Structure 1
Amino acid sequence: MNWSDEELIAGCKRKSAKHEEVFFKRYYGYVMGICLSYAKDRDLAQEIVNDSFLKFFSSIKSFEEFQSVKSWLRRITVNTAIDFYRKNKRFQDQLAIEDQVDIFHEVGALSSLAFEDLMRLIHQLPADHRLVFNLYEVEGYSHREIAEKMKITESSSRVYLARAKARLRDLVQFHLKEYAGR
C-alpha cells in the first residue's frame, strides 16, 4: 500500500491491522537503527523495537496531526530503551573502567572508521555509559534531563559521559593501530 503517513495514522487510530502492519514495515528500519545504538546486541534491540511499536500503537490516540511522526516515534523509542535499561539494570554485566587517561589521537581518526566499526566500539561500552553517551551526544539531552530519565544524579551523568568518551578514545586508538598494522 502506498498510504501517506496521515492515512496510516488515521488507520492506526481505527486499530486497522493492515494500517498498523504497513506502518510497522515503513518505520521498522528507522526504529531498529535507534535501538541498535542503545542495545547491547541485535536480540535486545529487537525487544526494544517490539516494545516501542506496542507503545506507539497503544498511545496513537494521543498523537496530534501537527506533530512529526518520526520525532514522536523516536521519542517513544528512546524512552522505551531507557525503560528497558532501568528494568534490566541489575542483570547487566558491568565492565571495569580504567582510570581516565589522556590519549593523543588524530583529528581525522573518526573519519577513517566505518559506521559499523564505530557502532561496534560504542557497543563495547558498559550499558549505563553507552546510554548516557547516546542520550547526550546523539539525542541532545542535557545532564539534568538524563539524570531525571535514568534516575541518577547529574554528576553521575557527567562522569558516565566522561568515562564513555575516554573509553571510546582508547578503543578508537586501538582500532586504528590494529587497522594500520594490517
Structure 2
Amino acid sequence: MIKITPAELLPLLQGCARNERKSQERLYRLFYSFAMSIASRYCPTKEESLEVVNDGFLKVFHGMTHYQIEKHEPVPSFVGYFKKIIIHTAIDQYRSIIKHSHQVNLEEGITVSHTESPLDGLAYEELIGLVQQLTPGYRAVFNLYVIDGYSHEEVAKQLGINVGTSKSNLAKARQHLRELLKQSHEERSSKYV
C-alpha cells in the first residue's frame, strides 16, 4: 500500500492542481505500483497495463483542478478517487479493444451453475495469474465484481452489457478459473511423481 501521511499528501495534491511538474512526478512515483497492480488485473500484458497507468495519471493530473481535497481524510479519499480513475481507464481501454474485435454472444447455448466458487480462498498472486488467462470480457466482469466490489448493475453499466450477461460472464469466469486451477494443480502434482 502507499506510504504517505496526510501532511505529505496535501501539499503534493495542491502542487499537482497548480500543474507543478515536481509534484506530478512525486505523485507518479508514489502511486505507480498501486496503479500497476490495478491495471494488471484488467490488462493481459504489461505494455497494456502501462498504457492504462499512464492514461490514468494524465486523467488525474488534468482533473486535479476539479478534485476537492478532503482535508480531514486526504489519503483514503484520494486513494479511492485514484483507484476509480485507473479502473475506469482500464474499462475504457477494454471497450476500445472490444469495439475493434468480433464478439460472440456469450449467453448462447451454455448453461452455467451458480454455486459458490472454491476460488474464494485462493492466494491473491495465484488468482491474479489465473485471471490474466481469462478472455477480456470474463476478466473485466470478474475484476469489477469479485475484486473491486461492484454490483452486477454497476458492472453492466460500466461495460455496456445487460445485468444477465454480467452474471453469466461471472459464472463462466469462475468456472474457467476452476478448470485453470485444477490444471495448474495437476501439472504441479505430475512434477513430483
TM-score (norm 1): 0.87
Q: Distance in 2 between matches of 1:117 and 1:15?
A: 39
Within 5 Å, which residues of 2 pair with 1:1-182?
4-66=8-70, 68-91=77-100, 115-182=124-191
Instruction: Assess if the C-alpha contact under 8 Å between 1:100 and 1:163 holds in 2.
Output: no
Q: Distance in 2 between matches of 1:59 and 1:114?
A: 35
Provide, for residues 49-85 of structure 1, a one-character-per-residue CA deviation record: whole Å limited to 9, x for no partner: 0000000000011211225111100000001111111
Provide, for residues 106-165 of structure 1, a one-character-per-residue CA deviation record: whole Å limited to 9, x for no partner: 96x776x66443222111111011000000001111111111111100000001000000
Amino acid paired to 2:90: A
Percent identity over the alignment is 32
- Runs of 4 or more, structure 1, over 4 Å off, are 92-95, 97-102
Q: Distance in 1 between matches of 2:58 and 2:78?
A: 15
Residues 92, 123 of structure 1: alpha-carbon distance in 2 compared, 3 angstrom cutoff:
farther
Instruction: Assess if the C-alpha contact under 8 Å between 1:147 and 1:154 holds in 2.
Output: yes
Q: Which runs of 5+ in 2 are unaligned?
A: none
Give the total of aligned pairs: 177
Q: Distance in 1 between matches of 2:158 and 2:52?
A: 17
Q: Provide the aligned C-alpha RMSD in A.
A: 2.7
Q: Which runs of 5+ in 1 are unaligned?
A: none
